[in-house]
Structure 1
């Protein structure tokens, strides 16, 4: 199973949409958003891709009430988990949290195959030896919103092989959408 891991969209709809469109073209079957969506309406751009979207909030949460209501609609694929999430996909135990220090601590437990985070806007893919002596993958996809001087990045993951590849979306997409 291939999945798209992203974070920190900060209401940058064209970049978020471009990432998910590209991920779907690469046969992604789900999207994991590690926080800082900000306005829940930002997620509406993903409706047309018909992919399950697992989302948590971060430190730039926006309207959490509306995010919860959006996720409770019968006709959508959004799953809002609150401040963190335990998700099982393709037999893999995955933990989502916004903060890297919290993610590192969860990876150290050995209870998770994959731990994903955001917040720093810095792309980082690691393998950590956990306290059980096995390896936990720790992925921070950076910022799909291209916040500040950071590039707009996300990660494509193959859960069968536990491989992770970074992708970059051109900020030109955002400029073109504004015209």
Structure 2
């Protein structure tokens, strides 16, 4: 199963839509994980057109939780709102979504999760972590899909091969500084 991981969209519908469109059409995404800071739930509305399940948490910029609840309740909605965090089983992998990187680090160390996705700091990174059970978990931070501060990015991951890669959002601001975190293949 291939997943598109985004975070920190901060109401930027065009960038969020461009990332998910590219992830589905060019890279075969089958689900979207949003690691928080949507702000206005209506920013997720354009994602309905792709027909992919969208798992979203709120982050520290929660926006209108009632409007989020109402969006989720619409007929044929693909949006799954989980509140402050989410534990999922997708493609046979245990995935946890949390907004803050320091919580992601702690959760990855437990060995209970194959992949822990986070956001908040707007810095894309794919980091393997040796857990307390002697295994390895991945922390996946897609950066900011809105390009707030650094360049606009998202992550594609293949849960079968455990290969993850950071991509620039089409039409987004490109930061020409070298990327310090290489793509990750387990």
TM-score range, shorter chain: over 0.9
User: 3-state SS of the aligned residue for 2:22?
Assistant: helix
- 1:131 matched to 2:126? The reply is no
Alignment of 1:1-179 (within 5 A): 1-25=1-25, 26-148=27-149, 150-169=150-169, 170-171=171-172
Cα distance in 2 between the residues matched to 1:134 and 1:73: 41
- How much does 1:53 deviate? 0.1
Cα distance in 1 between the residues matched to 2:125 and 2:172: 20
Structure 1 residue runs without a partner (length 5+)? 173-179
- How much does 1:75 deviate? 1.2
Moved runs in structure 1, 4+ residues, more than 6 A? none
User: 3-state SS of the aligned residue for 1:164?
Assistant: strand
User: 3-state SS of the aligned residue for 1:94?
Assistant: strand
User: 3-state SS of the aligned residue for 1:5?
Assistant: strand
User: 3-state SS of the aligned residue for 2:30?
Assistant: strand
- TM-score, normalized by length of structure 2? 0.90
Cα distance in 2 between the residues matched to 1:74 and 1:83: 24
Cα distance in 2 between the residues matched to 1:44 and 1:78: 9
Structure 2 residue runs without a partner (length 5+)? 174-186
What is the total number of aligned residue pairs between the two structures? Answer: 171
90-99 vs 68-77, which deviates more? 68-77
User: 3-state SS of the aligned residue for 2:116?
Assistant: strand
User: 3-state SS of the aligned residue for 2:67?
Assistant: helix
